Amino acid sequence: MNANETKGLCIALLFVDTLIFGWPPYLLVRGGNQSSRSIRIRTAVISYLTCFAGGVFFGACLLHLLAEGRESMEEYFKSVRQDLDFPVYECVLAGGFFAIAFVEQIAHNLLHKRTSNDGAPGKAAIQAMEVNPLRAFLLLGALSFHTVFDGLAVGLEESGTGVWEMFTAICIHKSLVAVCLGLQLFLAFKARPLMGFIWVFVFSLISPLGVGLGMILTSGDIDENAENLSSWILQAMATGTFLYVTVFEILREEFTERGSILKIFVAILGFGGMALAKYFDKD
């Protein structure tokens, strides 16, 4: 099997892998027994899984997006023979961070969907399981940027062995991310689960798209400097988005509004999972 045939197989496997890990969270979110006890148990489980997801996203932000984006930036400035004694990547990251903060504040002001608790049994628990769709879409967008570059890394490999090594490393952390993103999407579309399935399906197409782009780049005459420039700028913006949503939306809400010491350890466990995935990443 030559490199291109291997990449074609990886496209199919990446697509299936995301669906396998992204769709099952629906089984936890779907409505079942509506007794107060059942709702409390399900809410607690989802809350701890959300903390785990926050740790996974925080790890993806610091260990993958930040590290890989800075590497692309350094390669770009090295290729254009420029020394830069200024934290450019961090400034672009901050630009993404504040842009998302600005967009979210406008959305909150326009929607102002703050509903008061009417005291009905289990109502607070049900509300605790709801997620702002804006949060889910911001995560989806940031992760999509990242997974395009993951797929691109597979597509740019020139040997079959290199393709399989890169594919294995990406699959480890992409499976974790798919579970956590699937949970956020199904919570955001709790009343319309079909939308959750559709958006997980859309997300599953992103990595294969990156592999395809990588195959095009290796077979065509593409300016490497332009590729590196666009790569690190997009990664920096995605990192800023990721950082805002993870820290100010997911972890802040869980740690301060429904906090417990155990949740911090659960988030650390999620971060540790991404650190382990990074350790085995041969890129």
Q: Is residue 118 part of a domain?
A: no
Distance CA 183, CA 24 (A): 9
Give the residue, 262 or 38, on which the prediction is more confident.
262
Q: Could you tell me if 265 and 48 are in contact, meaning their C-beta atoms sit under 8 angstroms apart? A: no
Q: Is residue 231 part of a domain?
A: yes
Give the residue, 251 or 158, on which the prediction is more confident.
251
Q: Is residue 125 part of a domain?
A: no
The residue assigned the tokens 């992760």 is: 143
Instruction: Give the closest residue to 7 by CA, choosing from 179, 164, 229.
Output: 164
Q: Is residue 221 part of a domain?
A: yes
Q: Is residue 128 part of a domain?
A: no
Element (H, E) at 155: helix 133-156
Could you say which DSSP state residue 85 is in?
Answer: -
* pLDDT confidence of residue 47: 82
For residue range 151-196, what is the model confidence (pLDDT) as tens digits? Answer: 776 776 667 776 776 777 677 777 878 888 888 888 888 888 899 8
Q: Is residue 124 part of a domain?
A: no
Q: For the chain, state the CA radius of gyration.
A: 20
- Token representation of residue 191: 């009343």
Element (H, E) at 157: none
Range of the domain at 263: 3-30+37-113+133-279
- Evaluated on CA atoms 273, 275, 281, 282, the torsion sign reads negative
For residue range 17-76, what is the model confidence (pLDDT) as tens digits? Answer: 889 988 888 887 776 555 667 667 777 887 888 888 888 888 888 887 788 788 888 888
Could you say which DSSP state residue 201 is in?
Answer: H
Q: Is residue 122 part of a domain?
A: no
Q: Could you tell me if 155 and 218 are in contact, meaning their C-beta atoms sit under 8 angstroms apart? A: yes
What is the total count of domains within the chain?
A: 1
For residue range 81-140, what is the model confidence (pLDDT) as tens digits? Answer: 887 788 888 999 998 889 878 877 776 666 554 444 444 444 444 444 556 777 778 778
Q: Could you tell me if 238 and 142 are in contact, meaning their C-beta atoms sit under 8 angstroms apart? A: yes
Q: Is residue 123 part of a domain?
A: no
pTM (two decimals): 0.66
Task: Provide the residue type at 261 as one letter.
Answer: I
